[in-house]
Amino acid sequence: MPDDKFFLTYNQQMRKLRNDKHILCNGSSHKKILIRAGYFNIINGYKNPFISGQDPCGNHYYISGTSISQFQAVKKFDDQLRSFLLRYITQVEEEARTLAGYKFDECNDNGNIPWYDIDAYSPNKSLQEKMTVISKAYNELSKSQLDYVKFYMENHKQIPTWIMIKVINFSTFIDIIRFSKTDVSHSLCNLYGLEDEHGHSNVKLLIGSLHWMRKIRNSCAHNERVYCLARKQERHGHSGRILEKYFRMLGRSYSRILDQKIFDLIIYFKYFLPKSEYKQFISELKTMLIELQSKIHPHAFEYVRSQMGIKDLSDLDSLLSFPKDEIEYNKFDK
């Protein structure tokens, strides 16, 4: 069994970092970092930005002068990024659910056609697709422990659309949009400016952006690393980057890479957030990145930035400056 599989005291772990990995780890402040984070979480979890090579046996070399404090800086950044993104994702998710539920009822005879009726969904979708999404929604409602869901289950003949939309899983909500009548998805596209190059509602961008938010939200909720989160382009192009107008405005260096990364989410927020909120979002993100840049080796920072999908920090300013119509919520029901 390799040595690193045996139990090591914290002092032994510190010696291992110094002697075997040549990572600076001395004194009580460094020991405290190791105790609080755990060896696996901080070293194995955040070593990649600091790796400079490996020997013939596969052992990693690290950037000269790397300390455990720099590992902590990347971990702290990732922790902050996780909370930061989760805050905005849940805001967008809640808003999209509310608007979709309103439009769903509006285009179904003002709610007289209930959500569990197949006639409430698009005639272009198969009976199997519609029955499946209705069944998923009802199954998730029946398992809910929320008081207001139990109240409606016990005291009313049906669950209203707004409760169904609020309670179901994010993935099921996205399916509701996919299989709903065209007015539901198109109204969201029109509100948020999600259009293709011909000015038509870009439902693919709507669904794809919500799915990527869902993926990142789940990673945040499960305390996974998020700065390096990516979804690879599949062979037949069914996932990966959706090349919308802002990517094209940023240039070919972005269009050539087809894997979805955190930067894709940053672009999606350009659509879903009002101008003032997006400006605040970019400002907070830049502050976090600049602080990290001041605490770790330049090569390590370039690795983190690249893993997020950002070519240059100035691209955040460019993205902020690109023209965008204000979201006109007051016209949503017209």
pLDDT of residue 156: 80
- Cα 331 from Cα 334, distance rounded (Å): 5
pLDDT of residue 150: 84
pLDDT of 301 above 80 = yes
Average pLDDT over residues 177-181: 97
pLDDT of residue 4: 53
Given pLDDT bands bounded at 50, 70 and 90, which one contains residue 238? Answer: low
Q: Name the pairing type of β-strands 60-62 and 51-54.
A: antiparallel
Among 77-81, 116-120, 179-183, 196-200, which is the least confidently predicted range?
196-200
- Cα 164 from Cα 141, distance rounded (Å): 7
Given pLDDT bands bounded at 50, 70 and 90, which one contains residue 334? Answer: low
pTM for the full predicted model:
0.92
Higher pLDDT, 263 or 5: 263
Report percent pLDDT > 90 for the chain. Answer: 76
State the average pLDDT for the chain. 92
**Where do the structural domains in the chain lie, given as residue ranges?**
3-72
pLDDT of residue 57: 80
Higher pLDDT, 98 or 197: 98
Given pLDDT bands bounded at 50, 70 and 90, which one contains residue 295? Answer: very high
Q: Which residues contact 330 (CB under 8 A, 6 or more apart)?
A: none
pLDDT of residue 15: 92
Given pLDDT bands bounded at 50, 70 and 90, which one contains residue 1? Answer: very low
Given pLDDT bands bounded at 50, 70 and 90, which one contains residue 251? Answer: confident
Among the listed residues 145, 142, 206, 144, the one whose alpha carbon sits nearest the alpha carbon of residue 175 = 206
Q: To the nearest 5 percent, what fractions of the chain are helix, strand and coil?
A: 65, 5, 30
| Interval 5-61: pLDDT, tens | 688 999 999 999 999 889 999 999 999 999 999 989 999 999 999 999 888 887 888
Among 81-90, 95-104, 194-203, which is the least confidently predicted range?
194-203
Token code pair at residue 157: 């003949």
End-to-end CA distance of the chain: 69
Average pLDDT over residues 165-191: 97
pLDDT of residue 155: 85
pLDDT of residue 235: 55
Average pLDDT over residues 281-310: 97
- Cα 215 from Cα 229, distance rounded (Å): 9
Residue 54: how many other CB atoms lie within 10 Å: 10
Given pLDDT bands bounded at 50, 70 and 90, which one contains residue 239? Answer: low
| Interval 309-331: pLDDT, tens | 999 999 999 999 999 999 999 98
- Cα 208 from Cα 187, distance rounded (Å): 16
| Interval 87-144: pLDDT, tens | 999 999 999 999 999 999 999 999 999 999 999 999 999 999 999 999 999 999 988 8
pLDDT of 236 above 70 = no
Token code pair at residue 102: 């309103």
- Cα 68 from Cα 25, distance rounded (Å): 6
